[in-house]
Amino acid sequence: MTMGNFLNYPLSRGSLHITSNDVYAAPDFEAGFLSHPADLAPHIWAYKKNREIMRRMTSFDGEVEDTHPPFPATSKAACIDKYDPDVKTIEYSAEDDRILEQWIREKIGTCWHSLYVYHQIGLI
């Protein structure tokens, strides 16, 4: 099972500018992901909340380490490899939070979906 986090209305904005009269010239493009500081906190909260939900499910069979921030093995936030019926709330240290923030900044991307466009232009 996989969970993803999305901000429907991020405050961050990118830019696209024409750089030449040549139609084949590459434009000056900046995606602008996380350029507004208010967009980072919801991603951090959503990652932590989704991870808590998943670890409490009886179908949980461990985390794929490659799909999580590189928490140190000594961290209480380190990935676990099996379900624990006595699972506790995950404790994140200040260092874990820094690792998580850097990981989000490196992994952030876009998600375009046609239903969103249809909603925006009033077709649904």
Sign of torsion over alpha carbons 117, 40, 93, 69 = positive
| 10 has pLDDT over 90 | no
Mean pLDDT over 50-78 rounds to 92
- Sorted by sequence, the CB contacts under 8 Å of residue 107 that are 6+ apart come out as none
Active site annotation includes 113: yes
Percent of the chain with pLDDT over 70: 90
pLDDT of residue 42: 95
44: phi then psi, degrees, rounded to nearest 5: -65, -50
Mean pLDDT over 100-121 rounds to 75
Mean pLDDT over 80-108 rounds to 91
Domain chopping of the chain, boundaries: 37-120
3-state secondary structure the chain: CCCCCCCCCCCCCCEEECCCCCCCCCCEEECCCCCCHHHHHHHHHHHHHHHHHHHCCCCCCCCCHHHCCCCCCCCCCCCCCCCCCCCCCCCCCHHHHHHHHHHHHHHCCCCCCHHHHHHHCCCC
| 5 has pLDDT over 90 | no
Burial annotation 79-111 (CB, 10 A radius, 16+ → b, else e): beeeeeeeeeebebeeebeebbbebbeeebeee
In the structure, what pLDDT confidence band is assigned to residue 114 with cuts at 50, 70 and 90?
low
From the candidates 43, 68, 113, 119, which is the catalytic residue? 113
| 120 has pLDDT over 70 | no
Q: Look up residue 46 and give its amino acid.
A: A
